[in-house]
Amino acid sequence: MRHEWGRDVWPKFAAVLIAAALTAAGASAQTRHDSGGWLSVFRNGPFVACEKSSLRWWFDGQSRFVEDAGGFNQLLIRPGLGYAVGDDQTLWYGYAYIRTAPGAPGREFDENRMWQQWMYTPSAGDWSFVHRSRLEQRWVETGRDVGLRFRQFARAQYNLSETPQWSLIAWDEGFFHLNNTDWGARTGFDQNRAFVGVGFRPTPKGVRYELGYLNQYIYRRGGESVMNHIVSFSVFF
């Protein structure tokens, strides 16, 4: 059975790659393309030493770089607290600080967010999945309005039975503004991120590394949309 799964997964993974390529090719002619790199660190676990505790803690930090921003584009720091409501479901509440450099010197600005999310992490055989629904409240220093945004994330990971240290990974996340703001948000679709790559974990309970291609499409209503082609490297503790 394991051998059949390993043999069948390649066509499925290839289909994800093709879908990502079609997404990139389908962007409008008014889309500006850019390239860059994202470096991310993730860590979460029981809030106290006891592994059976329902309390959880979360932290992720990210540095993002794109060419059109002259290098540095964004810094993100995001802590949070969670409560496990089952073996594979968790509710979260947290804060995020974001520093953004939109491209021109002197235009950097800060953003503060509160966020709430539900996570569901089922598994089946060599497959593991993550479903995440996140709601954000955003305060951007270039305006006074509070922006509401919804994010839907879905991830699939296939662990290679022949080489268990390695895995194939694909995920997608859609972003949707829920209101208009004086700093530029408009109700409706905001952006989409699609990732395909590989994971490597040297030891069963050790650090996991993920490397791959991330396609970020940012929609600008009435203006020039942006598609970033990103090399993404993440470390999970």
Q: Write out pLDDT tens, residues 56-115.
A: 999 999 999 987 646 889 999 999 999 999 889 999 999 999 999 876 556 899 999 999
Distances (CA, A) of 213 to 13, 15, 232, 235: 14, 15, 6, 15
Confidence at 6, pLDDT banded by 50, 70, 90: very low
Would the pLDDT of 130 be above 90?
Answer: yes
Q: Are the CB atoms for 81 and 58 separated by under 8 Å?
A: yes
Mean pLDDT of 209-225: 93
Q: Which of 120, 152, 155 is nearest to 136 (CA)?
A: 152
pLDDT of residue 103: 67
- Kindly report, residue by residue over 206-215, the tens digit of the pLDDT: 999 999 999 9
pLDDT of residue 14: 53
Mean pLDDT of 190-198: 98
Would the pLDDT of 3 be above 50?
Answer: no
Sign, Cα dihedral of 157, 160, 211, 214: negative
pLDDT of residue 106: 64
- Kindly report, residue by residue over 18-54, the tens digit of the pLDDT: 555 555 445 455 888 999 999 999 999 987 766 678 9
